Amino acid sequence: MESVTDLKQEGDGSNERERSTIAFPYADLDSIVEVVKGVHSAGGTACDYDQLAAELKMEAKGGGFRLRIGAAQTFGVISYERGGRISLTDLGRQLTDPQLERSARVAAFLAVPLYQRVFEQFKGGPLPPQAGLERAIESMGVGAKVKEKARQVLMRSAKQAGFFDAAADRLVKPSVRQEAPPASPPPPDPQKQKQNGNGGGGGGGGHEHPLIQGLLLTLPAPGTQWEGADRANWLTMANSIFTMIYKGAPATIAISGSDAKGGAKPDE
């Protein structure tokens, strides 16, 4: 597997990088997230080198693209195989999940050896001014000719990872509260669906025709008073609906009823 130094090219400070003894990227965190999402878009968890370059609308042989690939390795979000295959690491896959991206940005920032050293050294206090911070990172192993660039990328990446959310002059690890995904609705109760489909308790439900659903909704609840004349009206309405929605010759059905005092008429 190629390392960051295997991907160096002219014009990106390669000679100075060789004199650095601590790893750091030349591209900030936001641009690395673009790389990760480019891999995700092109192939899910892995894609070819040329496919990723096309996804990012960059020249595959260009220095800018090679620089991004090297930086993405330093952040620990991709692995690069010599055959030209780029794969997302576990951390890289987390960056593609909106519910995990914030915490993954924090982890990616701290995965950079230089950034971890700076965070540990100045944790709990303000960062020094620009010149002082550059001298500090030089003492940690950054080459003298690239310390300004290294500081600029560090500061941008820290902001993009949320380390300046609490205060603008110090690195504070952001507290990340993972939000649980929305709860899935409980599976339907087959017994309840069966009862609703039969119209028990005056409820519709199921997959009945809307007219039948409306008809069932007019049923009174079991155990309540329902006069014979009202029953006859309901049955007449039901017969009319059946004639409307079902094929076949309509039937003439005689339905009669009486009020509560007279009771139902006996058959002749």
pLDDT of residue 194: 52
Can you tell me the distance from the alpha carbon of 42 to that of 125, in angstroms, rounded to the nearest whole number?
42
Encode pLDDT of 10-62 as tens digits: 344 455 445 899 999 999 999 999 999 999 999 999 999 999 999 999 999 99
- Give the chain's residues under pLDDT 70: 1-18, 177-208, 250-252, 255-268
How do the domains of the chain map onto residue ranges?
Answer: 4-160, 190-245
Question: What 3-state class would DSSP assign to 179?
Answer: coil
Residue 168, pLDDT score: 93
Angle among Cα 146, 37, 64 to the nearest 5 degrees reads 35
Q: How far is CA 94 from each of CA 2, 74, 162, rounded to the nearest angstrom? A: 23, 16, 16
Q: What is the pLDDT of residues 102-123, one digit of tens each?
A: 999 999 999 999 999 999 999 9
- What is the dotted CATH code of the domain comprising 4-160? 1.10.10
C-alpha triplet 22, 24, 27: angle, nearest 5°: 165
Question: Whole-structure pTM over 0.75, yes or no?
Answer: no
